[in-house]
Amino acid sequence: MNIKSSSEVYDVCIIGSGAGGGMAAKVCAEAGAKVVMLEAGPWFASESADMLAWSYESPRRGRGSKERPFGEFDACYGGWDIEGEPYRGDSGDGFSWFRARMLGGRTNHWGRISLRFGPDDFKGKSKDGHGDDWPISYADVKPYYDRIDQEIGIFGSNEGYYNEPDGYFMPPPTPRAHERFIQKGATKLGIPFIPSRLSIITKPLNGRAACHYCGQCNRSCATHSNFSTPSVLLPPALATGNLQIVTDAMAREILVKDGKVSGVAYIDKTTRQEREVKAKAVVVAASACESARLLLNSKSADHPNGLANSSGVIGKYLMDTTGYSMGGFFPQLMDQASYNSDGVGGAHLYVPWWLDNKKLDFPRGYHIEMWGGRGMPSYGFMSDIHRLNRFIEGRSTGGGYGRQLKDDYRRLYGSTVGFSGRGEGIAYETNYCEIDPNGVDEFGIPTLRFHYEWSDEEYNQVKHMQETFNTLITELGGIPMWDAPGKEQGYGITKPGQIIHETGTVRMGSDPSKSAVNNYGQAHDVPNLFVMDGATFVSQPHKNPTWTILALALRNSEYLMDQSRKGGLL
């Protein structure tokens, strides 16, 4: 094979352009380092997104596809099933591996829910004996959360919950009608709906316009009013002139020379040619399992178990968030007035974890996300109306056709509200990904196989979600839209990987025999190798990982630059 190699030696090579890679690129490029970033997917700019497209502009009316499971207008190109890039996820309770393949990675996908990990989240084992403590505490990360709040922008409200730390928030959008209706009833039940904390700016910031309330954050924002790396972090990084981005570059192996990382071998996906970049330091931020895969595949005589893996922990302690959802029909919300209620993309209210686990039969909490409202009709609009219109007063059964049915749709639009629980799963050594000895992808790179099993801690938590949602719906005068699955169906818990919060596969720690990287994401075994995505997490609280990936990447990239300034590292 004709391996082409660039003669330039970069200061830093970053693998992945998501939250971790994007932040590392900005910090390093602004510090004056020469940076090259490898992204396995194609180029993307927020301006080329489908913001403000109408459902009827497409013959599919917004339907999802394998490559765009969240709908054809969704910004994120990827999915759980990517052509030519297989994995095995059929062991235990199974594992579904979501991958974004585009510039910005999964920052193009997420719901912009930006919750800080709290003091208890970093010290779980000390609190309840499960999992492990992080080698760092909330106090170590707080200054970085404070900075990204102010530099990237977030709305929310300061509420004073100990383990849901407050921050530097822009004003939150006022709640929609159905959200106020739920909030009012829930307050009487002791369930606190508070303003969401989303990385969407409601005031101009650093030249970015304030949100224009089209409710389509998932399509990517042409005015840069919400966060994704191509929209917010890469422009200033590129403006320094120090960042080179290589797209369609699938990293295959990290190269080692004289005990240090010397560069990265990658496949140019468009020509299938093997190529190489040389760098004085490498930052791995390819997403938790992809980063683990790359390190495990980077075997050499000095690193027979894979790079940075003398401890053998890489791939282990894989975590995902638990999930359970329930919808309710609320007769009070029928016949709503017509006005523009798009708001921001996502719910304006949510429920932080509000109970004391000491009084419960599971150790870790969950938050509640709410859905509903009168959004733009699109594919699947009010499907199976017979399950809904049977609840209209005076009806003995559901279904129908004609003028009455047409009127039913009008009356029922916006009358269902749903709740999704998102809970913490405990980190177990026995949940893992590893190299599949029988598999390669279309580029010849060995693939992953997974093993994952939920424990009673997760099942009991999801059972509690069921009870909470049932109470919320029935006590507020609603009707649950389906039967809650029983114990034999695992209480309807999502399959591991479906909530797309996988973390933990290259865990940090102070003991090199039990962890792969140190407090700064720096490999114990190789000083010029860093990991800056969710792989380093010791626990995965119920909170979406992105804000913490950003905070840690900011902290760790500054450490990397500091080390290089002091000499020695670069």
SS3 sequence, 502-549? CECCCCECCCCCCCCECCCCEECCCCCEEECCHHHCCCECCCCCHHHH
Binds other proteins by CB under 8 A, chosen from 410, 444, 477, 510: 410
Residue 369's DSSP bridge partners are 350, 420
Residue 482 as a binder of other proteins (CB under 8 A): the answer is: no
Residue 415 as a binder of other proteins (CB under 8 A): the answer is: no
- Is residue 492 within 8 A of residue 244, CB to CB? The reply is no
Cβ closer to other proteins: 128 or 276? 276
**Sign of the CA dihedral running 528, 19, 287, 540:** positive
Binds other proteins by CB under 8 A, chosen from 399, 444, 477, 486: 399
Please, which of residues 194-233 interact with other proteins by CB under 8 A?
A: 204, 206-209, 212-216, 222-224, 230-231
Residue 19 as a binder of other proteins (CB under 8 A): the answer is: no
- Is residue 20 within 8 A of residue 8, CB to CB? The reply is no
| Residue indicated by tokens 């970085």 | 144
Binds other proteins by CB under 8 A, chosen from 91, 157, 158, 174: 174
The DSSP-derived string for 273-288 is EEEEEEEEEEEE-S-H
Cβ closer to other proteins: 8 or 511? 8
Q: Please, what is the minimum distance in Å from the beta carbon of residue 464 to other proteins?
A: 28
Cβ closer to other proteins: 126 or 206? 206
Stretch that binds other proteins, among 4-12, 122-130, 362-370, 439-447 (CB under 8 A): 4-12
Cβ neighbours of 247 (radius 10 Å):
18
Helix (H, G, I), strand (E, B) or coil at 97: coil
Binds other proteins by CB under 8 A, chosen from 29, 34, 44, 251: 44
Name every residue whose Cβ is closer than 8 Å to that of residue 553 and which is 6 or more positions away in sequence: 19, 20, 21, 23, 24, 27, 285, 521, 532, 533
Cβ closer to other proteins: 119 or 400? 400
Residue 188 as a binder of other proteins (CB under 8 A): the answer is: no
Cβ closer to other proteins: 53 or 194? 53
Structure token digits, residue 51: 């913001």
Cβ closer to other proteins: 264 or 426? 264
Q: Please, what is the minimum distance in Å from the beta carbon of residue 139 to other proteins?
A: 33
Stretch that binds other proteins, among 151-159, 394-402, 480-488, 521-529 (CB under 8 A): 394-402
- Quick one: angle between helices 19-30 and 546-565, nearest 10? 30
CA distance 512 to 398: 63
| Residue indicated by tokens 């004996």 | 129
Q: Please, what is the minimum distance in Å from the beta carbon of residue 437 to other proteins?
A: 30
CA distance 171 to 340: 20
Residue 234 as a binder of other proteins (CB under 8 A): the answer is: yes
Binds other proteins by CB under 8 A, chosen from 32, 171, 380, 486: 380
- Is residue 9 within 8 A of residue 562, CB to CB? The reply is no
Please, which of residues 519-558 interact with other proteins by CB under 8 A?
A: none
Please, which of residues 138-167 interact with other proteins by CB under 8 A?
A: none
Binds other proteins by CB under 8 A, chosen from 2, 397, 438, 489: 397
Q: Please, what is the minimum distance in Å from the beta carbon of residue 194 to other proteins?
A: 16
Cβ closer to other proteins: 57 or 467? 57
Q: Please, what is the minimum distance in Å from the beta carbon of residue 201 to other proteins?
A: 11
Binds other proteins by CB under 8 A, chosen from 99, 275, 451, 463: 275
Q: Decide the pairing of beta strands 273-284 and 260-268.
A: antiparallel
Binds other proteins by CB under 8 A, chosen from 203, 257, 406, 565: 406
Residue 9 as a binder of other proteins (CB under 8 A): the answer is: no
Please, which of residues 64-103 interact with other proteins by CB under 8 A?
A: 65, 67-68, 72, 77, 102
How far is CA 439 from each of CA 189, 264, 444, 554, rounded to the nearest angstrom? 52, 22, 9, 35
Q: Please, what is the minimum distance in Å from the beta carbon of residue 60 to other proteins?
A: 7
Residue 2 as a binder of other proteins (CB under 8 A): the answer is: no
Stretch that binds other proteins, among 302-310, 379-387, 494-502, 507-515 (CB under 8 A): 379-387
Q: Please, what is the minimum distance in Å from the beta carbon of residue 249 to other proteins?
A: 7
Q: Which amino acid is at 357?
A: N
Question: Terminus-to-terminus CA distance in the chain, angstroms?
Answer: 30
Stretch that binds other proteins, among 173-181, 306-314, 317-325, 541-549 (CB under 8 A): 173-181
CA distance 134 to 348: 31
Binds other proteins by CB under 8 A, chosen from 11, 50, 121, 434: 50
Helix (H, G, I), strand (E, B) or coil at 72: coil
Please, which of residues 426-455 interact with other proteins by CB under 8 A?
A: none
Q: What are phi and psi of 333, to 5 degrees?
A: -95, 10
CA distance 554 to 141: 10
Q: Which amino acid is at 124?
A: G
Cβ neighbours of 183 (radius 10 Å):
18
Residue 376 as a binder of other proteins (CB under 8 A): the answer is: yes
Binding residues with other proteins: total (CB under 8 A)? 107
CB neighbour burial string for 335-364, b if at least 16 within 10 angstroms, e if fewer: ebeeeebebbbbbbbbbbbbeeeeeeebbb
Q: Please, what is the minimum distance in Å from the beta carbon of residue 149 to other proteins?
A: 19
Q: Within its chain, how far is the Cα of 283 from the centroid?
A: 19
Binds other proteins by CB under 8 A, chosen from 21, 89, 156, 173: 173
**Sign of the CA dihedral running 15, 16, 20, 22:** positive
Please, which of residues 52-71 interact with other proteins by CB under 8 A?
A: 52-63, 65, 67-68
Please, which of residues 324-353 interact with other proteins by CB under 8 A?
A: 332-333, 336-344
| Residue indicated by tokens 């749709």 | 409
Q: Please, what is the minimum distance in Å from the beta carbon of residue 328 to other proteins?
A: 16
